[in-house]
Structure 1
Amino acid sequence: MTTGLLPVDGATLHFEQRGSGPLLLISQSGEGDAGRTTDLVDALAGDFTLLTYDRRGLSRSTLDHPERPVTMADHTDDARRLLAHVADGPAHMLGCSFGAVIGLHLAAGHGDLLDTLIAHEPVAPWLLDAEADAHRRELEELQELFAAGGLPVALPAIATSLGIDPTHPDTEPDLTPQPMDEQRRRNFAHFITAEFTALRTDPGCRAGLPTSATRILPATGRTTPTTVFDYQAAHRLAALVGRPVTTFPGGHNGNTTHPRAWADRLRTTLAAHHA
């Protein structure tokens, strides 16, 4: 594995590369940093060059001005600069949850940088038309819960909002532990305070998606409840870009709970669209 630091506008990004083959950028969900999908990277390293990174403000990616709000435009430009730094042509991208929203903005504004984007359950209220404001308010209420009671109160509510059932875990065996250590708690705090605000205030990029040069493949988890807004957003995206929804193993966090099955699904999905 190789690591690097990339100065960008207002921040310095930590990134990691491993494997060989076509470049696959993984944009993580939630509080996840470059190591969040280590088991998935292990399973794919024989087929792809995996590029992961800490979003600005998480773990080793530092902010020049921590008091400045972080926007979706910042995250999109970070991904653009990262690909410009390491890629020698259009890359594949897997975007999960928050990372899927970054991928959609990148496809809408810089579609030539991506060959294929798999957008798994994007947390994008702007895809939901009349229900958008209700889900923006849902994100705001989660922020209020965190402000009042911290992670012990906020995390169960976030899990419910995204259709995650922590009381009935369904995982593959022998996964790399992801302990709730101090760094992860700091990442969660940044995610809920700064990045939920970025999601709530994101105007979206609907107009640029149907005509994007990127092949956009909406995706959902097999066990994600159909009633939650991230599942519904994926289906609205499918209607917008005129492609069917691809189903992946597990639920909203299937990339970490079922990494080997996800690796198989990624290989077959990307191979099918290049056949």
Structure 2
Amino acid sequence: MREFKTHTLEVPGAVLHYEVREAAEPSGRPVLLLIGSPMGAAGFVALAERLPERTIVTYDPRGVGESRKTGEPGEESTPEQHADDLHRLIAEAGGGPVDVFASSGGAVNALVLVARHPEQVRTLVAHEPPAAQVLPDREQALAAIQGISRTYRQDGLGPAMAQFITIVGLKGDIPADFADRPAPDPAMFGLPAEDDGSRDDALLGQNLISCTHHEHDFDALRAASTRIVIGVGAESAGEMAHRGGVAVAGRLGVEPVTFPSNHGGFLDDTFGMPGDPDGFAARLREVLEG
């Protein structure tokens, strides 16, 4: 496995954990950040292993993994906070400009970073941002996500996560009555039905609403010096995050770029939902080389 060094960075409201993997040989290429949300550094090990020519930085977003919040642990995190964390992390890593591959909620946060600090990012590859605000069926999508949040507050992790898994795998428009439907049985997904009383889950408690409901500054993004590439999965067409990527690309006036496999196409089998990390890394290398 590729060696890395761990570091910490104090930011307003949190102490961030991040990891640096040096390139096998000096190449003159920019540092590459691999980021997600709520996925932390562990989710990008397989991809980092397949890009040995790059110095790679990964991190745990605030409230995830080893990045602890210094305020209330379960309070909501916002894309603006995450973007400021990334801004400070890039400054700590030399100031940039860097290249960024950002997945899912990380893509939302990276788009905010570029809107605010385009000088720090040379190329952003934003893969399947779940940007519900720009979907054609935005009202149904936003209501459905609010329904998941409501289930989480009322009934806990298992029922809410069962709803979440159902909606992210749904192909096509979100049904208008999705939020009113009974939650699926958590046992169908191997989830606990019992409520343990906690409400600080990184996805459901801290990032779900703020991420999906964020309204992007498309004027700033279109004016940015950063080259912005929107990625979508070859196998995820019709799913909400894929449709979010297509919609964001449309607002930016660019064509989305297809990557192998699904929403998590860069994953190996470590987490039980493998994609195609070899093919994904090859495609990402092509895109970054431009």
Q: Same fold (TM over 0.5)?
A: yes
Q: Superposition pairs for residues 55-204 of structure 1, below 5 Å?
A: 55-66=61-72, 68-128=75-135, 131-163=137-169, 189-204=201-216
Partner of 2:243: 232
2:283 aligned partner, one-letter code: R
TM-score (ref. length: structure 1): 0.83
Alpha-carbon displacement from aligned partner over 1:76-120 (angstroms, at most 9, x marks no partner) = 100100001103431110111100001111111111110111111
Tell me how far 1:59 sits from its aligned partner: 1.4
Tell me how far 1:197 sits from its aligned partner: 2.6
Relative distance call for 1:101 and 1:213 in structure 2 (3 A) is: same
Partner of 2:259: 248
Equivalents in 1 of 2:139, 2:35: separation in Å? 25
Equivalents in 1 of 2:126, 2:155: separation in Å? 32
Moved over 6 A (4+): none
Tell me how far 1:240 sits from its aligned partner: 2.0
Tell me how far 1:148 sits from its aligned partner: 4.4
Q: Calculate percent identity across the aligned residue pairs.
A: 29
2:160 aligned partner, one-letter code: A
Equivalent pair of 1:163/1:225 in contact (CA under 8 Å): no
Unpaired stretches in structure 1, ≥5 consecutive residues: 166-179, 181-185
Q: Superposition pairs for residues 7-18 of structure 1, below 5 Å?
A: 7-18=10-21
Partner-residue secondary structure (3-state), 2:18:
strand
Aligned residues: CA RMSD: 2.3
Equivalents in 1 of 2:139, 2:17: separation in Å? 34
- Higher-RCO chain (CA-CA 8 Å, sequence separation at least 6): 1
Partner of 2:271: none
Q: Do structure 1's residue 37 and structure 2's residue 49 form an aligned pair?
A: no
TM-score (ref. length: structure 2): 0.79
Tell me how far 1:268 sits from its aligned partner: 1.1
Relative distance call for 1:136 and 1:159 in structure 2 (3 A) is: same
Tell me how far 1:158 sits from its aligned partner: 2.0
Alpha-carbon displacement from aligned partner over 1:169-208 (angstroms, at most 9, x marks no partner) = xxxxxxxxxxx9xxxxx99812111111322552322221
Equivalents in 2 of 1:123, 1:200: separation in Å? 6
Tell me how far 1:259 sits from its aligned partner: 1.6
Equivalent pair of 2:75/2:205 in contact (CA under 8 Å): no
Equivalent pair of 1:164/1:251 in contact (CA under 8 Å): no
